């Protein structure tokens, strides 16, 4: 009997150890795992803007500002120079070789862009806390308002181009149909109705699965704008079972490329796919900005940006602004 009890105890310990290991190896984590990350001394990176960060963040989390603005060129929407990113990371103590957890607000794709950035510059131990500050607050956990800092480090950032797909590689993939392609943009962008480059439309043979489809309620952002819901809980990820159904038409063993407008939304879908067990997933880094602006690239449902109409609309808006400003001045005088 004693031997049997010892056997049961050993099995339980093994199971607990395996569970802890699995939790640590999950790319997308929950609140309990976030607490475990804090306990083991992981670097916690809050990718929100500074104002939101100082209004309250997870204790010990560091912040370099809104990651989408700080690390990207505002016009090209590509990374700024690597040496500049390296200086920012090193100054903040953001060591890409350490255990890192990235978070922001629930449903913010720039959290996944943060993870993508760490991986692209050589990091291999990075996780995502998808529900972020919203879940942390809902759980009644401690919040810090003072800025947290880490000692500066000296770490060289080494880009890993093999993790992404370049413009040249994408042209070959489309030509030889060597990968399954997911367009993570909106249906209007996919169809060419919403034009955000020289041309609208989509890459031939791509299937449209908007990144919001990963959420329990894909319409949450729209509902929030219309004040039809009071919080963003609908942006929580679907269950693993429902996510598998969402991507059931795809082969998890086949090369898979995800793109959007500039790679941010695609980073979320790519991470979700990897978490589901897809083995060969890459982000087309330049995404639609790279494809739609390349007139040599084939486009399905092709439309063109009407620059004249756009300029006329902007001029009309400016006139209205000028009229409102004049009316405001007259009222104040």
Pair 189, 83 in one domain: no
The stretch 8-14 carries a mean pLDDT of 37
pLDDT at position 9: 39
Last residue of a domain, one of 100, 130, 159: 159
The Cα–Cα gap between 234 and 313 comes to 35
How many domains, the chain?
A: 2
Last residue of a domain, one of 140, 159, 178: 159
pLDDT surpasses 70 at 11: no
The Cα–Cα gap between 21 and 224 comes to 37
Pair 190, 108 in one domain: no
pLDDT at position 3: 44
pLDDT at position 152: 98
Helix, strand or coil, per DSSP, at residue 143: coil
Residue 85 belongs to a domain: yes
Number of residues in the chain: 333
Q: Which CATH number characterizes residue 284's domain?
A: 3.40.250.10
Residue 302, phi then psi, degrees to nearest 5: -65, 130
Question: Which DSSP category does 7 fall into?
Answer: H
Residue 325 belongs to a domain: no
149-202 tens-digit pLDDT: 999 999 999 999 999 999 999 999 999 999 999 999 999 999 999 999 999 999
The Cα–Cα gap between 132 and 26 comes to 16
Residue 229 belongs to a domain: no
Residue 50 belongs to a domain: yes
297-322 tens-digit pLDDT: 999 999 988 665 566 667 777 777 87
Residue 118 belongs to a domain: yes
Structure tokens at 35: 């607490």
Pair 79, 201 in one domain: no
The Cα–Cα gap between 216 and 43 comes to 29
Residue 330 belongs to a domain: no
Pair 78, 144 in one domain: yes
Pair 118, 174 in one domain: no
Last residue of a domain, one of 99, 126, 159: 159
* DSSP string across 8-38: HHHHHHHHHHHHHHHHHH-SEE-HHHHHHHH
Pair 58, 155 in one domain: yes
Helix, strand or coil, per DSSP, at residue 303: strand
Most confident residue range from 6-10, 12-16, 309-313: 309-313
Residue 207, phi then psi, degrees to nearest 5: -110, 140
Percent of the chain surpassing pLDDT 70: 89
* Residue 158: other Cβ atoms inside 10 A: 11
Helix, strand or coil, per DSSP, at residue 57: strand
Confidence of residue 47 (pLDDT cuts 50, 70, 90): very high
Pair 35, 126 in one domain: yes
Pair 185, 120 in one domain: no
Pair 124, 166 in one domain: no
In Å, what is the CA distance from 120 to each residue of 10, 53, 161, 194?
Answer: 40, 25, 7, 30
Pair 145, 98 in one domain: yes
The Cα–Cα gap between 257 and 163 comes to 11
Pair 30, 118 in one domain: yes
258-271 tens-digit pLDDT: 999 999 999 999 99
Residue 186 belongs to a domain: yes
224-255 tens-digit pLDDT: 999 999 999 999 999 999 999 999 999 999 99
Domain coverage including residue 195:
162-209+247-308
Active site (catalytic) residues = 260
pLDDT surpasses 50 at 1: no
The Cα–Cα gap between 329 and 333 comes to 6
Residue 86 belongs to a domain: yes
Average pLDDT, the chain: 91
pLDDT at position 309: 57
pLDDT at position 324: 75
Nearest to 173 by CA among 301, 283, 302: 283
pLDDT at position 315: 72
Count Cβ atoms within 10 A of the Cβ of residue 298 and give its class: 0-12 exposed, 13-18 middle, 19 or more buried.
Answer: middle
Pair 196, 286 in one domain: yes
Confidence of residue 75 (pLDDT cuts 50, 70, 90): confident
pTM, rounded to two decimals:
0.86
176 contacts: CB under 8 Å, gap ≥ 6: none
């Amino acid at each position: 009997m004693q031997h049997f009890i010892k056997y049961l105890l050993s099995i339980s310990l093994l199971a607990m150890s395996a569970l802890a290991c699995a939790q640590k190896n999950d790319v997308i984590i929950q609140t309990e795992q976030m607490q475990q990350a804090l306990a083991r001394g992981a670097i916690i990176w809050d990718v929100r803007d500074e104002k939101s960060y100082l209004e309250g963040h997870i204790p010990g989390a560091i912040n370099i500002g809104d990651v989408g603005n700080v690390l990207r060129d505002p016009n090209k929407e590509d990374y700024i120079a690597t040496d500049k990113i390296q200086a920012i990371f090193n100054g903040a103590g953001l060591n890409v070789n350490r255990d890192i957890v990235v978070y922001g607000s629930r449903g913010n794709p720039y959290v996944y862009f943060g993870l993508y950035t760490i991986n692209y510059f050589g990091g291999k131990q990075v996780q995502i806390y998808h529900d972020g500050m919203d879940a942390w607050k809902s759980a009644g956990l401690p919040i810090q308002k003072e800025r947290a800092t880490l000692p500066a480090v000296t770490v060289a950032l080494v880009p890993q181009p093999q993790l992404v797909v370049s413009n040249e590689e994408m042209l070959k993939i489309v030509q030889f149909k060597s990968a399954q392609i997911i367009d993570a943009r909106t249906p209007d962008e996919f169809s060419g109705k919403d034009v955000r480059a020289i041309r609208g439309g989509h890459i031939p043979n791509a299937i449209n699965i908007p990144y919001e489809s990963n959420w329990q309620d894909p319409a949450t952002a729209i509902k929030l704008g219309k004040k039809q819901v009071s919080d963003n809980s609908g942006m929580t990820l679907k269950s693993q079972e429902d996510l598998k159904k969402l991507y059931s038409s795809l082969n998890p063993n086949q090369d898979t490329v995800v793109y959007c407008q500039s790679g941010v939304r695609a980073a979320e879908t790519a991470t979700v796919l990897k978490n589901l067990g897809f083995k060969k997933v890459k982000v087309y880094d330049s995404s639609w900005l790279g494809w739609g602006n390349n007139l040599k690239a084939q486009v399905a449902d092709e439309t063109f940006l009407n620059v004249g109409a756009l300029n006329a609309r902007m001029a009309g808006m400016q006139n209205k602004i000028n009229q409102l400003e004049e009316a405001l001045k007259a009222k104040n005088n």
